[in-house]
């Protein structure tokens, strides 16, 4: 059994102890660490931080920059916030994490992943494919495993916790993994999920238009 799966079992045992009330409650709030592991199960780098409050997700990357992402699957938004510059912008494809760690329907998770990809402005050239895999009850009794294939990409695997309706492990095609660990069920401060009102939004469209007036831009029509 790999380190990852041992950790996953431990996570789920803890979850099972506390999930009962949660599963029956409309409240859906928890936090966790996003831990990166290599194919052998060893931890790679520092952990990112995840906060979930119902339809909102906040991810604080591992780089210590203070920057963070807020997604809202009801509003269909994913924002990248840079406190040092007091600005925010559409996250777009700035981070794959915002496209992986989203609230999902246990029975049809591809719908939410595809929606997150659309929010990220990833061109959809075909439907996502999610195939439920028979659970390995010995190693992972409380997660539903899916084989996931985004258009034109290799097959990944994801384990979804049925109590959280949330992915707790993502395994890329090369065997590396992103795992939620130290999951703590409980209310999250609302301020974590709000962009301060004084922050301004950055939109690169004007920058692109200015550059079109230079020789840097050699797209058609040619000038």
Partner 1 sequence: MRVNGRNNLALGASAVLSFSLLAATAGFADDKSKDNDAADAVKTESPIKHVIILIGENRGTDHTFGVYKPRGKHQTISNILSKGIVNQDGSPGPNFSLAQQFSVAAQPAFYIGAPKNAKTVYNSNGQMPQPNTNGTPTAQGTTGAPFTPAFLALAAGLDPSPDFNANTDTILTTGFSNLATNSLDSRIPNAGVLPNGPFILQGPNISDDDYTGDTTHRFYQAWQQSDCSTANATKDNPTGCLNDLFPFVMATYDLNDSVVPAVQKNFSEGNSMGFYDAEQEQASLLKTLADRFSLNDNFHQSFQGGTGANHFMLGTGDAGFWSDGNGNPITPPASQVANPKPVAGTTNKYTADNNFSNCSDFTQPGVAPIVSYLEALPYRPQPNCAPAHYYMLDNTNPGFYPNGFRAPSPAAQNMIPPSPVRTIGDALNDKKISWAYFGGSYNDAVALSNDAVTAGIAGTLNSSTALGEAALADPKHSLGVAYCQICNPFQYATSIMGDANQRAAHIKDTVDLLADIQADTLPSVSFGKPDGLLDGHPQSSKIDLFEAYVQQVLDALEAHPRLKAETVVFITWDEAGGYWDSGFIQPIDFFGDGPRIPLLTLSEYSTGGTVNHTYADHVSLLKFIERNWKLKPLTDRSRDNLPNPKMRDDQPYVPRNMPALSDLFDLFDFDHRVNQPFLE
Rule CB under 8 A: say whether 170 interacts with partner 1: yes
Rule CB under 8 A: say whether 197 interacts with partner 1: no
Rule CB under 8 A: say whether 118 interacts with partner 1: no
Please check whether residue 160 is in contact with residue 143, taking contact to mean a CB–CB distance below 8 angstroms. yes
Closest by CA to 190, choosing from 56, 28, 50, 33, is: 56
Q: Which of residues 57-116 bind partner 1 (CB under 8 A)?
A: 61-63, 65, 67, 80, 82, 84-87, 89-90, 92-97, 99-100
- Write out the E strands in the chain: 29-37, 48-53, 56-60, 68-72, 77-82, 87-90, 129-133, 144-149, 156-161, 166-171, 177-185, 200-202
Nearer to partner 1, 180 or 185 (CB): 180
Classify 195 as helix, strand or coil.
Answer: coil
Rule CB under 8 A: say whether 137 interacts with partner 1: no
Site string for partner 1, 40-59 (x = CB under 8 A): ----xxxxx-----------
**Element spanning 119, H or E:** helix 109-119
Rule CB under 8 A: say whether 200 interacts with partner 1: yes
Count of residues binding partner 1 (CB under 8 A)? Answer: 71
- In the bound complex, what is the minimum distance in angstroms from residue 136's beta carbon to partner 1? 20
Among 5, 19, 34, 50, binds partner 1 (CB under 8 A): 34
Classify 78 as helix, strand or coil.
Answer: strand
């Amino acid at each position: 059994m790999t380190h990852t799966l041992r950790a996953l079992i431990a996570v789920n045992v803890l979850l099972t102890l506390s999930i009962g009330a949660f599963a029956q409650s409309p409240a859906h709030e928890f936090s966790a660490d996003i831990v990166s592991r290599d194919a052998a199960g060893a931890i790679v780098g520092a952990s990112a931080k995840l906060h979930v409050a119902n339809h909102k997700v906040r991810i604080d990357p591992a780089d210590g920059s203070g920057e963070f992402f807020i997604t809202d699957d009801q509003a269909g938004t994913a924002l990248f916030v840079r406190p040092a510059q007091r600005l925010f912008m559409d996250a777009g494809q700035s981070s794959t994490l915002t496209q992986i760690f989203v609230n999902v329907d246990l029975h049809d998770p591809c719908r939410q992943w595809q929606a997150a990809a659309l929010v990220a402005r990833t061109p959809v050239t075909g439907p996502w494919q999610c195939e439920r895999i028979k659970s390995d009850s010995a190693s992972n009794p409380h997660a539903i495993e899916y084989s996931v294939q985004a258009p034109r990409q290799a097959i990944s695997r994801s384990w979804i916790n049925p109590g959280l309706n949330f992915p707790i492990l993502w395994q890329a095609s090369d065997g590396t993994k992103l795992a939620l660990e130290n999951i703590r069920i409980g209310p999250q401060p609302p301020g974590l999920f709000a962009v301060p009102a004084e922050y301004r939004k950055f939109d690169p469209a004007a920058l692109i238009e200015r550059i079109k007036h230079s020789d840097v831009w050699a797209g058609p029509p040619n000038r």
